[in-house]
Amino acid sequence: MATIEVIQGDITRINSDAIVNAANTSLLGGGGVDGAIHRAAGPGLLQECRALNGCKTGEAKITSGYNLPAKFVIHTVGPVWNGGNHREKELLANCYRNSLWIAENTKLKSVAFPNISTGVYGFPKQLAAEIAISQVRTFLETCQEIEKVIFVTFDEENYLLYTKLLGKA
């Protein structure tokens, strides 16, 4: 059975098979975790991302990790929160499912997630955490390859939220 962990820290320093990038649709870098990942990975990541021709909201694509401790980066585009009546919950769930599907089919053992869409995209943190944990738990019930999922929270609010929801408080 796979394990789920939560840590507070910098996802660019996580030593796992893959880290997930909360990317924008261009995949060419941006602010927040996306910019941090691109800076830490180096120019090779940007070059590989250019060849991917972007990514739609809710979908995911994989690249090498370059200068990161992680071997791979799974890029997923979270939804911008617009009040909750524009498929935001479904699209966020798709980010987690599609990222995990890529990890499983690439035969990765560990994957680390940031708090997708909860920064400038404005997704309510509690709801985002509930969706993330639910999707990961459901996926892990049937997966064969993934042994560990790590939720990497940048801020204390998300750390406490995930810890509580995972029953580790």
Cα separation, 111 vs 109, whole angstroms:
7
The Cα–Cα gap between 3 and 1 comes to 7
Would you call 10 a catalytic residue per the annotation?
A: no
- Residue pair 70/114 in contact (Cβ under 8 Å)? The answer is no
What the block records as the tokens of 98 is 């599609």
Active-site residue identified among 10, 17, 34, 155: 34
Q: CB of 22 within 8 A of CB of 76?
A: yes
List the beta bridge partners of residue 62: 74
Q: What is the Cα–Cα distance from 164 to 56, expressed in whole angstroms? A: 31
- Could you tell me if 135 and 96 are in contact, meaning their C-beta atoms sit under 8 angstroms apart? yes
Residues marked as catalytic: 34
